[in-house]
Amino acid sequence: MKPHPQLINLPKYCDPRGNLSVLENGANLPFVINRAYWIYDVPSGRNRYGHAFRSQHELIIALSGSFDIVVHDGHATQRYRMDRANVGLYIPPLTWREMDNFSTNSVALVVASESYRPDDYIEEFDTYLSIINPDKQ
């Protein structure tokens, strides 16, 4: 069965020096990390246009500030408010996702299962729907 997007609670170690959270292959992730990138200095009111990946898994964390992730699995849409550095949204392959409502100084960390491959991107929502629901075409 196709996995669903889901929030994953990460460990949070709190002490008087501050908090620490961790991602570790084989411990708290449904895939193995191959790449990390981060999105920052997003101008107020801008959104990151939607796309889906054919085979890449990813997890997105609001390391600082907040933003929304809107996911569509071919049937339903769900909006997640990301505002805690110890919670990640797992996004399986073939999930359409957009990001908006970035707060000032927000930082989105994305860890991904694969190296950057433009041919893994599905850039058009109609193309995405035809892949996910081939019988409806």
DSSP for residue 93: S
Residue number with CB closer to ligand TYD (9 or 55): 55
Residue number with CB closer to ligand TYD (12 or 46): 46
Query: Is there a contact between 34 and 112 (Cβ–Cβ < 8 Å)?
Result: yes
Residue 54 interacts with ligand TYD (CB under 6 A)? Answer: no
Query: Is there a contact between 122 and 91 (Cβ–Cβ < 8 Å)?
Result: no
Q: Which of 4, 51, 57, 72 is catalytic?
A: 51
Give the x-and-dash track for 66-105 against ligand TYD (CB under 6 A): ----------------------------------------
Looking only at the bridges linking them, the beta strands covering 35-40 and 107-112 are: antiparallel
Contacts 24+ apart (CB under 8 A), 115-118: 115/34, 115/35, 116/35, 117/56
Scanning 14-22, 35-43, 55-63, 75-83 for contacts with ligand TYD by CB under 6 A, the matching segment is 35-43
Which residue numbers are catalytic?
A: 51
Binding site for ligand TYD (CB under 6 A): 35, 37, 39, 48, 51, 116
